[in-house]
């Protein structure tokens, strides 16, 4: 199974991705997680990416395409993968098409989670992230069992630097300007499955699951 999760920041892509990677036993390839791990490790890649991320801008395409090329070469991607937060530009999608063609592979579905901007700002400003295992919580709608502590791994939860309101608005503007053209791109390839992303995570999970039935 080869999947892409598309949708604005804070649409619940990461949460829904968790269900799908378990269901299909495939790795989740999140460029955001790879970049954050690289920043934490003090690596060159992280140093280059951090200024873009903190400013709510996209990291340049060549950097991202390099990350994906390296990640796809890992053996666990042989059985499929789920891209979360990639591609984010038409240039990235075209580079992915070229990599897939080289590998003799095809995408199965592009799941696009639709959420209006007004809902996103409220969601992201309350978002809590685990810096260790990337699990997400929300102070109001999905609180952890113990305040400030990850249910999954017990690490302390944080508010991401780029989950501040001003940065969120910039990330949304990037989504509409640079990423939303991918909706038409994948619709043209008959791969797009649109999901209404407003509601409780479990209900949205059922809508996503229906794509695979």
Give yes or no: 88 in active site: yes
Indicate the DSSP class of residue 158: B
Choose the stretch contacting ligand AMP; rule: CB under 6 A; options: 53-61, 95-103, 180-188, 193-201: 53-61
The residue from 160, 164, 169, 207 that is catalytic is 160
Cβ 88 to ligand AMP shortest distance, Å:
4
9 with 120: CB under 8 angstroms? yes
119 with 8: CB under 8 angstroms? no
Candidates 111, 162, 175, 205; binder of ligand AMP (CB under 6 A) is 162
Choose the stretch contacting ligand AMP; rule: CB under 6 A; options: 87-95, 99-107, 111-119, 201-209: 87-95
Cβ 162 to ligand AMP shortest distance, Å:
6
3-class SS of residue 194: strand
For 86, residues 6+ apart whose C-beta sits below 8 A from its C-beta are: 4, 29, 30, 31, 64, 68, 92, 96
168 with 120: CB under 8 angstroms? yes
Q: Is 64 in the site for ligand AMP (CB under 6 A)?
A: yes
Give yes or no: 36 in active site: no
Cβ 191 to ligand AMP shortest distance, Å:
18
Q: Is 86 in the site for ligand AMP (CB under 6 A)?
A: yes
Cβ neighbours, 10 Å, residue 72:
18
Give yes or no: 171 in active site: yes
* Residue bearing tokens 């920041």: 9
186 with 6: CB under 8 angstroms? yes
Indicate the DSSP class of residue 149: B
Q: How many CA atoms lie within 13 A of 181 on its CB side?
A: 10
Cβ 24 to ligand AMP shortest distance, Å:
20
Can you give the binding site for ligand AMP, defined by CB under 6 A? 9, 31-32, 35, 52-53, 57-59, 64, 85-88, 92, 162, 171
Q: Which residue numbers are catalytic?
A: 13, 88, 127, 160, 171
């Amino acid at each position: 199974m080869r999947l892409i999760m598309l949708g604005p920041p804070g649409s619940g892509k990461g949460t829904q991705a968790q269900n799908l990677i378990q269901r299909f036993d495939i790795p989740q390839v999140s460029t955001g997680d790879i970049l954050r791990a690289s920043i934490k490790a003090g690596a060159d890649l992280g140093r280059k990416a951090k200024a873009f991320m903190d400013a709510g801008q996209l990291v340049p395409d060549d950097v991202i395409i390099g990350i994906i090329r390296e990640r796809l070469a890992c053996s666990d991607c042989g059985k499929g993968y789920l891209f979360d937060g990639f591609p984010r530009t038409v240039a990235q999608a075209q580079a992915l098409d070229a990599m897939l063609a080289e590998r003799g592979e095809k995408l199965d579905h592009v799941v696009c989670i639709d959420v209006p901007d007004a809902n996103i700002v409220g969601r992201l400003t309350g978002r809590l992230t685990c810096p260790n295992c990337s699990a997400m919580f929300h102070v109001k709608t999905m609180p952890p069992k113990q305040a400030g502590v990850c249910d999954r791994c017990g690490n302390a939860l944080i508010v991401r630097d780029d989950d501040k309101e001003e940065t969120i608005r910039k990330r949304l503007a990037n989504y509409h300007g640079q990423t939303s053209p991918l909706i038409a791109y994948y619709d043209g390839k008959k791969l797009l499955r649109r999901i209404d992303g407003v509601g409780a995570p479990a209900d949205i999970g059922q809508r996503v699951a229906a794509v695979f039935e």
